[in-house]
Structure 1
Amino acid sequence: MACSCVVTGMPFARRRARHSIAARGLWVERPRDVQDQGGRPLARDTAGSRYDLEPLLPYIGQGYVLLTPNLRLARRIKAEWDARQLAAGHRAWQPLPVHPLEGWLQQAWHQRACQEAALRRHLLDTPLALRVWRQAIEEDERQGDYSLLQVEATASQAQQARNQLLRWQVNPADPGIAARFRLDTDCSTFLRWHEAFEIQLQERNLATGLDVIALLQAAERPASRASTRALLIAFDEVPPLLRAALDQCCADVQELPQPAAAAACQARAYADRNSELRAVARWARETCAARPQASIGIVLDDMRGDRQRLEYLLRREFNCLDADYAALPVNFSTGWQLAEVPVMRDALTALSAVNAAVYVQDVLALLRSRFLQLPDRHSTAGLAFVAKLHDHGREQVDAGALRTLAKDLRLGEVLLSCAGMRQLRERSLPSVWAGHFHQLLTLWGWPGEGGLDSLEFQQVEEGYRQLESLATFDAVCGPMVYSEALALLRQCCQDASFQPRTADSRVQVLGPLEAAGLQFDALWLCGMQASQWPAPARPNPFLPLSLQRECAMPHASAEREWHYANGLLQQYRAHCDTLIASYSQSVDGAPELPSALLKDFSWQATSDDEGPPASWLQQWRERDVETLPDAVAPLPDAEELARIGGGSGLIEDQSHCPFRAFARRRLRLQALSEPSLALTAAERGTLVHQALYVIWGELGESAALQALAADAQADLLVRATSAAIDALPAMRRLAVGHACIAQEQRYLLALLEEWLETERQREPFVVVAREQRQAIALGALQLQLQVDRIDRSAIAAHGDSASPVTIIDYKTGSCEATQWLGQRPSLPQLPLYSVASQAPVEALAFAHVKARHTTYKGLGARQVAPGIKDDIARATSRKEPLDSWPELLERWHETVQRLAQEFLAGEAAVDPLNSGSCTYCGLQSLCRIGVTGEGAAPEEEA
């Protein structure tokens, strides 16, 4: 066999091999060396720690194979060996034979399988094995009387149970063992799954990583055994299967003695988890500054829960939040789920949008993504699409509706092209779907036109790797539809952990197992609460508890967890100079005690400075603040005034808050609609307007209403409500659903019937106009108004066309006539209509069309309808005392003109009329009213 060697100073290129499924089963690809853009080598995950090779040198000289419990420690030892050879001036040397134990045993099986056909199997990686487990579980579920909520999690736990049985050499097919399984429902169910899983492996000639080690252990001893010797490094325990396989392959197996604990041990207590993590980050920065060459380790007991918080705090301490984001001298041992990194998250969302309903926020994420080629995202059509998407009113939008809404955009073109691909509607093998997905991503322009940084480039590479891995599922899956194939790809990306290949880092953040055996100058253990160190027993629910305790399996008992945790702690103490352990006195509001394992640590007093770092405070004190008065906007020119237009809403906005009028009318900013499963209040109001428009179009006057028979009125209301419903956008009706629309129509029928009874109580009148458009000029400001209804007294209407009118505005929400009064009326719509009216106005009224509260509310020269007050002095006494109706009309004219002039003068102060002015404004993120300290006055009494 040709020997391998490491050569430095000789640049070379290697082509990545692409293997068939059979090759994937028999061969393991050697990890590639990684370089940055300048050709400098990047460390995978070994930076920041050191390892003392002196105790290993005698074994290396005697030809021992070095075996470690994990890949991280093996890489660390190899890196130290290579550095030692370089320091000695060597340019080429034999690679150090150091491997993780299970990986080395699998390589030994591979070498035997190349020579002995009986040992050959197709090797299943974890995702493939989980797929076979899922098939076995789902088949049993179909035949049984139970239903699982989380099949993926159950399959993972079942695989863990089988792995424990293999490692501890427990055969569930043994009658005595099987009998113990059948005493428990969960265990007996697992036994059925296990039998189905084993049958699948045998029928397809498949095997997991532990299966091939079991094959190796059961095979005859190889001839090379006599010359093979192994040294176990940093093992607390070796499961029986691995020990037996080692004995089968090696004539001599030694364990490296653990050095005596020599670390200076300190313990610290903090009020809560945030305080503890702040202290860790501060310590890391201070230690780096005081000891530039020191190797520093941080052990997190909850890497998934605490990584994000700790990374932010470390970036804050090392000042790596902004421009120096990539300069953080910290390496995290665990990566992110590949499905969660932005470039892959957007790719999966784009694939989902092809033929399935997607959430509105996901569609917006696609538009914002720089990894997709959607160049018109910021165009006028793109902004209009966003508004239509929100007006659609649902949290999710299906593929067909999305194509329709986005028809004017590149997004619509992509979706239309995807809809025309017939192959996406067929059942195909995973390998075929891999090609289709690649084609679709190319159509989307993924991963974008702009350049990718180093991390993104690595993520895209890993994404393509997962796409290629779909082909391996042909061995365990049959043809599937698009949604099943996409779910499989998503699961692969969720199972894949992306670990960036970064340059050497002095600070390592590791999990408890990953830190075992590594050497540091200073090591900090986080989360040393009594409830976590040792961890509580967590026996596998699919294995009999008595069997787990009998075999001393992981997590089976409190005693075993204590032994395991104590072993880890002793390794930490033996491999660092300074060991700091900390715990939180309160976790999620519950008090905590320190771990009993810290009994011989020396306790140190702590103080938590919760304020920002001193460097931030210094920058704040030295800031050069430039203030810009923004309460007055530039005056609008004639061209802008022609664009502004608008109706009564402009005056209402100016009255409620000058900034709101400026933002909505001049900057043209509008808050986006919130999704609603039913019709919104505004849509219900529109239905009432539309129905009453139809009703009075047919009736025309109160005399026709009084003469209307019950059957005729019922028919009229059905026609009116049907017309109102039909006026809703078709897509909105579809989104709300037929049942909801039918319920709304029934409610509307009852409401209108109640309202017509209110109308019958009025004096005779004639409807002069419905939805009448009027133009009004307020100085240079041109407004277009639309009046809901204008009535005249029936007697005056027949005698004089210039007789006074009553102007009516329909309201379905709360309203009061007092909202027309004051220097800044909250509802100035009707006063504005009175100013614009060509005919004399004798009354203004809200038609309050609300169930069980139907009435008129208004003011006038006389009481033309119940609810309209003609005592002006009494009605206006609390806000602005006026004596007569003409005086009130004149005051409204002045108020409307003044508000218009304020708008034209550019008044744009953030000055809400009351707290209600901000309720439905939607512009708080722009005016920053809650941040700047400005606030609204208390709500005025109506």
Structure 2
Amino acid sequence: MKIAQPLPLISEDDMFAALEAGALLLTINNRLAREFQGRYDFFQQSKGLAVWEAPRIFPWLTWLQHCYQRLTLTEPDDRNPTLLSPLQEQSLWERVIYDSSYSGALLQVPATARTAQEAWQLWHAWRLPLQDQSLFVTEDTQAFLEWARAFEHHCQVGHWLDHARLPEAVIQMLGARQISLPATVILVGFDEYTPQQQEFFVALVEQGVMLQALASQGKPERVMRVPLVDGVEEITSAARWARRRLEGAPREKIGVIVPQLEFLRAQVVRIFDEIFHPEAVLPGREGIERAYNISLAQPLAHNPLVHTALLILELTKGELSLVEMGALLRSPFLGEAEREFSRRALLDAYLRKTREARVSLGRLGAAAVSEGAEGAAYCCPALGERLQQFKAELAQLPARQSPSGWARSFARWLQLLGWPGERSLNSEEQQAVSAWRKGVQSFASLDGVVPSLKQSAAIGKFRRLLADTLFQPESPPVPVQVMGTLEAAGERFDGVWILGLHDGVWPPAPRPNPLLPVELQRHHRLPHASAERELAYARMVTARLLASAPTVIVSHPCREGDSDLRPSPLIAELPPIPPEALELASIEPYTHQIQLTAMGETLADRQGPPLAKGTQVEGGTALLKAQAACPFRAFAEYRLGAQGLEEPSVGLAALDQGILIHSALHYLWERLEDQQILLTHTAEELQTLVAEAAKQAIAGQMAVRPQTFTERFTAIEQERLELLLLEWLEQDKQRPPFTVLHQEKSQPLNLGGIGLITRADRIDRLENGERVIIDYKTGRPDPHHWFGERPEEPQLPLYCIAHKEPVVAVLFAQVRRGEMKYLGVTKAAGSVPGISDFTHVAEGPENWEGLLDQWSQVLHALAEELMAGYAAVAPRDTKSCDYCALPGLCRIGELGSKITYNKNKNNGDGQP
């Protein structure tokens, strides 16, 4: 039996009068219930009332829950099963699937459980027949049958009731006259009725209830179709139109309907902020009250305050990713966050220096209480004390607990780290805390449905709960409502703009449930089952939206990327109007307004404070390299201390590989001392020595990067280093006799009045007493980078002029598998095999002494710039900016064509 269609209609005023008389209003969703609650309140206020009885307005599923729970509380009966919460149902489905014979083939059991739960709900809502199971022939549908039987069995044993069968339970109560019913029930927002709803409403009628539906506003006065270039222009035009309407009539209610709002939310927020609240881009204006509201709720787990709490829970596992740890340290929702804000930011920067992808709780705790000169900047005593208590608490954790036990642990962990902080929370943050606590209570309610859990499983399950929980902070009523097509059911507006209606999205593509036979879904016209079903539903929704306001604008983009788009066939027959015919607000983004009203003023400030003569500066040779690349960069990094944050790397970055090679070769030559000893070693002796050198080098890095150097990674790196070192030693065997005189020896140097400390990787002494300076490189170095007015690699020339003994060769040692060689310049050919004299690389000097003098002049000129405080934004070339972390400080992007590059006069490419 079905209810009569259409239902008797009732106007809004008559509906409010009926509510005063005790009628019940059932809506299709929560949003619509809140909307009509607000309208009813306004109706009462307009009559001059200050107090009135709360109306009976509920979402229909919520009313069913109230009916069932009220009955089971007021008239306890062991025959009435316990109603499961949505989370308990989801968890029971997961348990059923994990215990089934199909679990081994599933990668995402929680996602499969949600799909099975949806199939179960469709099965009951649409009264699908199960007599003929011959349609359940695929592996997926057969799996669902097995899961459904198991789910039903668990419910019988546990004496539980799920929401899919709740309407049937309430119908039985209606038949037994166990529920007090109103004389009138008014339905709002139901585009269609499922067979299960039909049965329920028929049962109401049989109990003498009168069913009515809210009358629509009728046909719109004006409907316009506007083709626009793309989606961005659509959203922008809709926002400008809505603002223009409000400027003329501030009390109007405006609707903007977006069919794919879940994918476009961020873009919609950005554009609507630009149009309605251009000042929102200014610092400190993030929490302003907006004139628009977006109905699409976000997962609770995405809320910043809740995200911090989840990071604390993840930290109990012993580590976080470097990015997550940084977010936790900089969060304002920890104890003493404001007091230690700067120190915790510096602690984040310090932890990044290892470039490890993950940071352990132990390392965080040790760094937070660091002492000494370096640790003084980032030491966080309050955080360190909290972390000590936190670790002590974790040491007492049981291996397994019930969900309620873990819920208590969650609360204790957050308390120990001071969540949600000491500062006053705004309204949205207070609501987020309340939603978090409700989530914890829901998780605790899983006792009995879910067996005891290990820590990792409990945190994972709770995180999924919050990811599935939608959070929409309550806010005062606003005039502009942005919503999806489903949320707009039953809504009424003074004007509405429906955007994005191209033929690729409207009607939407079918999405049948994969666990139910497709033929069965099509035959019973289940939602999303077929293209025909989607077309019919889209027609119904389109008709409803077109009747939701006196003035309706529908729009569609003409292009998306490189693709041409056509209007949806459901609106194609509407006559198009040009965008110019619309009344749109004229407004420029705030940044444009500032630029348009600003008076341009240029201040060429290329000068920082000069240094006093004899000043000892930090940075050594790297300072000169930075000055040659860009004077401003050198000033910012080494005088102002502005350093970019290190980024995590998987495995070893080039810098880390270079450190390993330097350390291993340093160990080798400390023991070999000269080429003669190298040549006297047998292959076995050399292999043993090389293995120990690699082991010592890795041990040094392992202390800094323990997360990277796992047992397997260490073994691979040991083998790689040994092969690399043996191959390089073969290269050194081919040279004329030499002795390694110094390795990483500190050499003070006064250059143009600046005190520097130089450390050459290695200095060899030849048989005749002359010196060779060597710099190890694991990449492909180029000796041409030593030359020009602003050399790219000034280190070796600087080592050369700093050394007091005669130097006859300056070399890069290219330590690279299959490409081992020396590169550089020599005073005369023959000093090092394969290296020509300096005339093949350097242009200008006629002899070796002239080359050294040229280098000295270039380096002294750079030192004089540093002494004078010269800090112009003048990069050597565009490559100098590629790996610079300070474009926001120098604002090179704003200077544009005003930049003059200091190109080298002699900086060619290629090998000598």
The residue number in structure 1 matching 2:303 is 341
The residue number in structure 2 matching 1:845 is 811
Q: Output aligned runs, 1:506-521, within 5 Å.
A: 506-521=479-494
Which among 845, 850, 866 is matched to residue 903 of structure 1? Answer: 866
- 1-side partners of 2:274 and 2:521: how far apart? 46
Which among 796, 800, 803 is matched to residue 830 of structure 1? Answer: 796
Tell me whether 805-814 or 53-62 shows the greater mean CA deviation: 53-62
TM-score in terms of structure 2 length: 0.89
1:734-767 superposed Cα distances (whole Å, 9 cap, x missing partner) = 5133333333333333333333333233333333
Residue 381 of structure 1 deviates from its aligned partner by 6.4
Matched AA of 2:388: L
Which among 232, 240, 243 is matched to residue 187 of structure 2? Answer: 232
* Matched residue SS, 1:603: coil
* Matched residue SS, 1:266: strand
- Residues 24 and 182, structure 2, Cα contact 8 Å, conserved in 1: no
- 2-side partners of 1:378 and 1:862: how far apart? 60
1:832-878 superposed Cα distances (whole Å, 9 cap, x missing partner) = 1222222232332233333333333333333353357665445423x
Q: Kindly tell me: are residues 937 and 268 of structure 1, through their superposed partners in 2, closer, same or farther at Cα, counting changes over 3 Å?
A: farther
Which among 364, 374, 388 is matched to residue 416 of structure 1? Answer: 388
- Residues 106 and 213, structure 1, Cα contact 8 Å, conserved in 2: no
Residue 439 of structure 1 deviates from its aligned partner by 1.4
The residue number in structure 2 matching 1:800 is none
- Residues 337 and 498, structure 1, Cα contact 8 Å, conserved in 2: yes
Q: Does 1:82 align with 2:34?
A: no
Q: Kindly tell me: are residues 212 and 899 of structure 1, through their superposed partners in 2, closer, same or farther at Cα, counting changes over 3 Å?
A: same
Which among 849, 854, 861 is matched to residue 820 of structure 2? Answer: 854
Residue 808 of structure 1 deviates from its aligned partner by 2.5
Residue 337 of structure 1 deviates from its aligned partner by 1.1
Q: Kindly tell me: are residues 827 and 111 of structure 1, through their superposed partners in 2, closer, same or farther at Cα, counting changes over 3 Å?
A: closer
- Residues 913 and 937, structure 1, Cα contact 8 Å, conserved in 2: yes
Q: Does 1:399 align with 2:399?
A: no
The residue number in structure 2 matching 1:735 is 708
The residue number in structure 1 matching 2:320 is 358
TM-score in terms of structure 1 length: 0.86
Q: Output aligned runs, 1:303-342, within 5 Å.
A: 303-320=261-278, 321=280, 322=282, 323=285, 325-342=287-304
Instruction: Give the unaligned 5+ runs of structure 1.
Output: 1-50, 798-803
Residue 223 of structure 1 deviates from its aligned partner by 7.4
Q: Does 1:546 align with 2:519?
A: yes
Q: Kindly tell me: are residues 678 and 612 of structure 1, through their superposed partners in 2, closer, same or farther at Cα, counting changes over 3 Å?
A: farther
- 1-side partners of 2:116 and 2:405: how far apart? 29
* Matched residue SS, 1:830: helix
Q: Kindly tell me: are residues 194 and 863 of structure 1, through their superposed partners in 2, closer, same or farther at Cα, counting changes over 3 Å?
A: same
Q: Kindly tell me: are residues 919 and 875 of structure 1, through their superposed partners in 2, closer, same or farther at Cα, counting changes over 3 Å?
A: same
* Matched residue SS, 2:225: strand
Q: Output aligned runs, 1:371-410, within 5 Å.
A: 371-375=333-337, 382=344, 385-408=347-370, 409=380, 410=382
The residue number in structure 1 matching 2:416 is 443
- 1-side partners of 2:686 and 2:747: how far apart? 31
Residue 303 of structure 1 deviates from its aligned partner by 2.0
Q: Kindly tell me: are residues 522 and 758 of structure 1, through their superposed partners in 2, closer, same or farther at Cα, counting changes over 3 Å?
A: same
- 2-side partners of 1:227 and 1:873: how far apart? 104
- 1-side partners of 2:895 and 2:339: how far apart? 32
Matched AA of 1:359: S
* Matched residue SS, 1:514: coil
Q: Does 1:127 align with 2:87?
A: yes
* Matched residue SS, 1:858: strand
* Matched residue SS, 1:293: coil
Which among 141, 156, 169 is matched to residue 215 of structure 1? Answer: 169
Tell me whether 539-548 or 284-293 shows the greater mean CA deviation: 539-548
Q: Does 1:470 align with 2:436?
A: no
Give the RMSD, CA atoms, in angstroms. Answer: 3.0
Which among 535, 554, 566 is matched to residue 593 of structure 1? Answer: 566
Residue 692 of structure 1 deviates from its aligned partner by 2.8
Matched AA of 1:214: E
- 2-side partners of 1:435 and 1:162: how far apart? 33
The residue number in structure 1 matching 2:908 is 941
- 1-side partners of 2:886 and 2:259: how far apart? 43
Q: Does 1:704 align with 2:677?
A: yes
The residue number in structure 1 matching 2:63 is 104
Tell me whether 930-939 or 783-792 shows the greater mean CA deviation: 930-939
- 2-side partners of 1:282 and 1:379: how far apart? 40
- 2-side partners of 1:580 and 1:838: how far apart? 83
- Residues 263 and 573, structure 1, Cα contact 8 Å, conserved in 2: no
- 2-side partners of 1:194 and 1:473: how far apart? 20
Q: Output aligned runs, 1:439-588, within 5 Å.
A: 439-587=412-560
Residue 168 of structure 1 deviates from its aligned partner by 2.2
The residue number in structure 1 matching 2:5 is none
* Matched residue SS, 2:862: helix
1:472-495 superposed Cα distances (whole Å, 9 cap, x missing partner) = 111412222222222222122112
- 2-side partners of 1:781 and 1:138: how far apart? 70
Residue 809 of structure 1 deviates from its aligned partner by 2.5
1:63-94 superposed Cα distances (whole Å, 9 cap, x missing partner) = 64333323333333333333222222334444
Q: Kindly tell me: are residues 475 and 723 of structure 1, through their superposed partners in 2, closer, same or farther at Cα, counting changes over 3 Å?
A: closer
Residue 927 of structure 1 deviates from its aligned partner by 2.9
* Matched residue SS, 1:602: coil
- 1-side partners of 2:765 and 2:162: how far apart? 88
- 2-side partners of 1:686 and 1:76: how far apart? 65
Q: Kindly tell me: are residues 767 and 495 of structure 1, through their superposed partners in 2, closer, same or farther at Cα, counting changes over 3 Å?
A: closer
Residue 360 of structure 1 deviates from its aligned partner by 0.7
Q: Kindly tell me: are residues 737 and 677 of structure 1, through their superposed partners in 2, closer, same or farther at Cα, counting changes over 3 Å?
A: farther
Residue 345 of structure 1 deviates from its aligned partner by 0.7
Residue 150 of structure 1 deviates from its aligned partner by 2.3
Question: What is the count of residue pairs matched by the alignment?
Answer: 874
- Residues 651 and 828, structure 1, Cα contact 8 Å, conserved in 2: yes
Residue 780 of structure 1 deviates from its aligned partner by 3.1
Residue 382 of structure 1 deviates from its aligned partner by 4.5
Q: Does 1:151 align with 2:109?
A: yes
- Residues 83 and 163, structure 2, Cα contact 8 Å, conserved in 1: yes
Matched AA of 1:418: F
1:317-343 superposed Cα distances (whole Å, 9 cap, x missing partner) = 112514385231112222221110111
1:593-643 superposed Cα distances (whole Å, 9 cap, x missing partner) = 22222255332112699998277644422214454434211123579x34x
* Matched residue SS, 1:715: helix
Residue 441 of structure 1 deviates from its aligned partner by 0.9
* Matched residue SS, 2:494: strand
* Matched residue SS, 2:334: coil
Q: Kindly tell me: are residues 833 and 573 of structure 1, through their superposed partners in 2, closer, same or farther at Cα, counting changes over 3 Å?
A: closer
Q: Kindly tell me: are residues 611 and 819 of structure 1, through their superposed partners in 2, closer, same or farther at Cα, counting changes over 3 Å?
A: farther
- 2-side partners of 1:315 and 1:579: how far apart? 23
1:371-410 superposed Cα distances (whole Å, 9 cap, x missing partner) = 1125499688646643442233332234344444444344
Q: Does 1:863 align with 2:859?
A: no
- 2-side partners of 1:749 and 1:865: how far apart? 28
Q: Does 1:243 align with 2:215?
A: no
- Residues 344 and 463, structure 1, Cα contact 8 Å, conserved in 2: yes
* Matched residue SS, 2:681: coil
Which among 784, 803, 824 is matched to residue 818 of structure 1? Answer: 784
1:814-844 superposed Cα distances (whole Å, 9 cap, x missing partner) = 2233322222222222221222222232332
- 2-side partners of 1:333 and 1:872: how far apart? 73
* Matched residue SS, 2:424: coil
Which among 891, 902, 926 is matched to residue 889 of structure 2? Answer: 926
